[in-house]
Amino acid sequence: MSSLLTGADGRARCAWVGTDAEYQRYHDEEWGVPLHGDRALFEKMSLEGFQAGLSWITILRKRPRFREVFDGFVPERVAAFDEDDVERLMTDAGIIRNRAKILATIGNARLVAGMRDGELDELMWSFAPDRERARPKSFDDVPAVTTESTAMSKTLRARGFRFVGATTMYALMQSTGMVDDHVEGCWRYT
């Protein structure tokens, strides 16, 4: 498979985007762009956790509903969810109805709500590798797990976070711009 795909707009993009317009927008505007803030990173952590075992496009298409039913991913609001909220979420076809992932999101929100302002951002970004690291020339150069994502996962798990495995955390690092894995030739490759 080629690492690049040229869209109808003439721009070469990372080929994982395919031809889906929403995926192209996500690639062009969000993926690999540095993201900061406890709420924003909690949302990304939650969505990456829901994505485990599924395709990201599934999550991306359901993201508006996720944001609605999880109160904008405001940690303090989600931390207050109870069993009635879990049951409400389990019946909502607009999201991924996985009890373990829903419970993990609520539990993770409680942990974030107990942190000082900015602590999650500081903690997660402390694992970002040196920005001067080698950039991928092709898909073959893009890892699924790194030393940094493994360390992030281990630290978060030690604090009680769930659905934060090393592969999931590397996907988070890519999507939040902690690493920039746009392949050589992609118009976003800088």
Q: Which residues are catalytic?
A: 26, 48, 56
Length of the chain: 190
186 annotated as ligand-binding: yes
Residue 166 sits at φ, ψ, to 5 deg, of -60, -40
Rounded Cα distance, 128 and 68, in Å = 30
36 annotated as ligand-binding: no
Annotated binding site: 14, 27, 182, 186
Annotated binding site for Zn(2+): 14, 27, 182, 186
